[in-house]
Amino acid sequence: MVIVGIVIVVATFIAIIKQFETRLVLLLSGLLMCFIGGQLGAGTTAFVKELTNPGLVPTICTVLGFSYVMEYTKCTEHMVYFISAGLKKMTKIIIPGAVIITFLINIALPTAAGCAAAVGALLIPALIRAGVHPAMAGSAIFLGTWGSALSPGLMFNPQVAQLAGEDVMTVIASFSMQAIIGIVVAAILLNIVAIVKKEHTGYVVKGSNAEEGKEFKVNYLYAIIPIIPLVLLVLGSKQVAVIPEISVPVSMLIGTAIGIIAVRPNVTEAVKKFFRGTGDGMCDVVGLMAAAACFTAGMQLIGLTNALIDGMKNSQQIAQIGAAFGPFLLAVISGSGNAAALAFNGAVTPHAADFGYGIMQLGSMAQLGAGIGRSMSPVAGAGIIIAGLAGVNPMEMAKRNAVPCILATVVIMLLLL
């Protein structure tokens, strides 16, 4: 049965890599393993339980709803212009500056594709006009698109928090310093790559159709609205405790209300955008997590999970490397590490103590590895968007980001595990 399980898992990830619908593949594979294991109902039970998970569903849905309202009210655009305004003046550190700015914006705008479009449309033309080679300009933005790892709305953080019996902000605090060190290391390494390849300066725009000198007046109130929920969560966290503790859904609702009141858009349309976001969060994110829960239930029933755990018990190093580079490699190949990280956290992370690690350590490393790996994948949606804006092949960006991403993952792994 274990051998059959391995075959099914390998076939599952091959199908995901070949761009079959991830939710369908995970669900069918999970049900097949449950059937072979003699308990078909266990897969559907796990699926339904995750769809109605009170700890995850409100968090993810309200984050997406808030994000949609911020885009509708143009607050996201004001924030991007505000944060990136000083980048043009930092010519000597323009590349690492672009990486870190994208990373920070991705925390408040926790969708890689959305962040890529919002930031790339502004910064890529600015970087190119400053003399940065288009492929390097795209690489800098692409490298910063795993900042969502520090977002309370990223699906993995509520998942790990629930497994560990902690709140989301405690989970994020447990790896935030390591993640910050990782992005700084990655940004510095990309700058070195740019210098070695002589792509950090001297590029001359030829026939560029980028918008030149388009005036945009930043409204500073609008610019800070997208980060209000994050500020509230930090101030109310156990580590800071300046204000009473506040939940993620409540913080997102407060941010949404402030945005609507401050910008005064068409309220009916704004409310429609919010609920469209919650619906898409249910469909795209919660649906994926539910399918992954069915898949991990199948792995458990067919005996694959226990075999994997027994193998990891024999070596702490195997667990360490597996948590970091398993999701990392799948993300590079498939353009999305979600399936691997969700499966790993569902099947292996609850047993972290058996390998000498904490649940927060192992689960956080899995999601960080997945996020960083996606930032060097030539088939990632965010990378394709950025490549289009820069007018380059996505593979060119992947090659430039390879060394920074691999070494940043190693650094975080050594610091976190």
Report the distance separating Cα 143 and Cα 240, nearest Å.
30
Please give the pLDDT value at position 210. Answer: 41
Task: Measure Cα distances from 204 to 132, 270, 345, 374, 390 in Å.
Answer: 9, 42, 47, 30, 14
Tell the burial category of 137 from Cβ atoms under 10 Å away from its Cβ (0-12, 13-18, 19+): buried
pLDDT at res. 209:
42
Please give the Cα distance from 67 to 148 (Å, whole number).
13
DSSP state of 147: G
Return d(Cα 23, Cα 242) in angstroms, integer: 41
The DSSP letter of residue 302 is T
pLDDT > 80? residue 91: no
Amino acid at 300: Q
Give the model's confidence band at 213: pLDDT under 50 very low, under 70 low, under 90 confident, else very high: very low
pLDDT at 17: 80
> Which of 305, 393, 320 lies closest to 6, judged by CA?
305
The DSSP secondary structure of 16-65, one letter per residue, reads HHTT--HHHHHHHHHHHHHHHTT-HHHHHHHHHHHHT-TTTHHHHHHHHH
- pLDDT tens-place string over residues 352-376: 988 889 999 999 999 999 999 999 9
**In this predicted model, what pLDDT tens digit does every residue of 376-413 receive, in sequence order?**
998 888 898 899 989 899 999 999 999 999 999 999 99
Nearest to 63 by CA among 160, 170, 150: 150
CA distance 312 to 346: 15
**For 309-340, how does the pLDDT look when each residue is reduced to its tens digit (9 = 90+)?**
777 777 778 888 988 998 898 888 878 778 77
Q: Where are the domains of the chain?
A: 1-416
Closest listed residue to residue 117, CA positions, set 190, 188, 67? 67
- Indicate the burial class of 238 (C-beta count within 10 angstroms; 0-12, 13-18, 19 or more): exposed
Long-range contacts of 272-276 (CB under 8 A, 24+ apart): 273/65, 273/68, 273/69, 273/71, 273/72, 274/65, 274/66, 274/68, 274/69, 275/65, 276/65, 276/68
Q: Quick one: pLDDT at residue 328? A: 93
How does residue 262 score in pLDDT terms, banded at 50, 70 and 90?
very high
pLDDT at 208 over 70: no
